[in-house]
Amino acid sequence: MNLAAPADGVKLTDSQRLDWLRLIRSENIGPRTFRAVLNHCGSARAAIAALPDLARRGGAKAPGRICTAAEAEQEMETARRQGSVFVALGEPDYPARLRVIDDAPPLLAVRGKLDVLKSPMAAIVGSRNASAAGAKFAAQMANELGAAGFVTVSGLARGIDAAAHRASLEFGTVAVLAGGQDRIYPPEHNDLLAKILERGAAVSEMPFGWEPRARDFPRRNRLISGMSLGVLVVEAARRSGSLITARMALEQGREVFAVPGSPLDPRCEGTNELLKQGANLVTGVDDILSVIEPIAGRPAELPIEEPEQEAQMFTDGPAADERSRIIGLLGPTPVDIDDLIRLSGARPAIVRTVLLELEIAGKLHRQAGGRVALLG
């Protein structure tokens, strides 16, 4: 089974989709753990059945809460009434570029026109308290990207985000939400969202009813960059959310673009810093198109993953001494899984199983680039 595409190009059955929803809504299951446990157990249904045992072996005092079938059905029903559908990783409607990021959401709740997710996309992000010039420039870029066949992705925030969405309504634009599909932030953008949905879409990985908290915005930002060929940062103060999106774009191998601005304007500190670090300098849409047009035609590249030859053959659990040897190598400082395998002398499948158990027990954090750390 290919980890990167659990249901490559094939639609899930309703029953599979429900299992996927249950699994991703269960405690201690994030996108990376979802992939690992799906790979380990072969299906979401088998994974759900295995969770209590895996958590116990990982040393959980009490197993994490599992989303019930009734709860998942309830969320499905709420979604349908509200006009959202769940698109699974690997299904034809799932955004092609997003599919290949390390922590791609197994399910996206999508409202609006699904087709728009098949277009090549470019993100435009920036300050909430944008200058008039910044907002105008963002609008100009969004509109010209649209005319050139690129869908603008942004975060529905005030300022730059809203300007970019508004200027590209006619081409279809994608808003990525930090909360559930029924928890729009900021609330005054409900009208804008309604216009977006006419030709574009709103996307969320969060459960219905989820009120976005501060930490959900950086998490959401990885989807904005992940769906896009590149991210244009129009105005950004130092330590702003837009810079997080830019950093994620780099980690995901996406292009980063920044608009230059006066050193005397604090709203340009972050963008100028990006330029110093090598971001593409943008004074017109051609500066973006010249970079993303050549790559738009290429298929999204799958990250290189180790083949999982052993996974199918290995059915025994790890022996107690192997488990404790592996756990002994872990600590709060992230380590490479490859190093763990080498240092422990255990078979890769054994190491992966121990890590999965710890993850499901809520004791391990899996980071970008195949690194893991024990949680305090």
Binding status of residue 260 toward a copy of itself by CB under 8 A: yes
Q: Which of 6, 31, 146, 261 binds a copy of itself (CB under 8 A)?
A: 261
Binding status of residue 164 toward a copy of itself by CB under 8 A: no
Question: Closest distance between a copy of itself and the C-beta of residue 61, in Å?
Answer: 52
Q: How many CA atoms lie within 13 A of 14 on its CB side?
A: 4
Q: Please say which residue, 118 or 238, places its beta carbon nearer to a copy of itself.
A: 238
The backbone torsions φ and ψ at residue 122, rounded to the nearest 5 degrees and listed phi first, read -135, 140
Binding status of residue 263 toward a copy of itself by CB under 8 A: yes
Binding status of residue 91 toward a copy of itself by CB under 8 A: no
Q: What distance in Å separates the CA atoms of residue 85 and residue 37, rounded to the nearest whole number?
A: 24
Strand order in the sheet with 364-367: 335-336, 371-374, 364-367
Q: Are 274 and 249 in contact (CB under 8 A)?
A: no
Binding status of residue 242 toward a copy of itself by CB under 8 A: no
Binding status of residue 136 toward a copy of itself by CB under 8 A: yes
Question: Closest distance between a copy of itself and the C-beta of residue 243, in Å?
Answer: 15
Closest CA to 179 of 171, 187, 168: 187
Binding status of residue 125 toward a copy of itself by CB under 8 A: no
Question: Closest distance between a copy of itself and the C-beta of residue 44, in Å?
Answer: 48
14-28 residues labelled b (16+ CB within 10 A) or e (exposed): eebbbbbbbbbbbeb
- Within residues 271-310, the interface with a copy of itself by CB under 8 A covers 272-273, 275-276, 281-284, 287
Q: Are 17 and 84 in contact (CB under 8 A)?
A: no
Binding status of residue 93 toward a copy of itself by CB under 8 A: no
Question: Closest distance between a copy of itself and the C-beta of residue 236, in Å?
Answer: 13
Binding status of residue 137 toward a copy of itself by CB under 8 A: yes
Q: Which of 19, 91, 269, 359 binds a copy of itself (CB under 8 A)?
A: 269
Footprint of a copy of itself on this chain (CB under 8 A)?
A: 133, 136-137, 259-265, 268-269, 272-273, 275-276, 281-284, 287
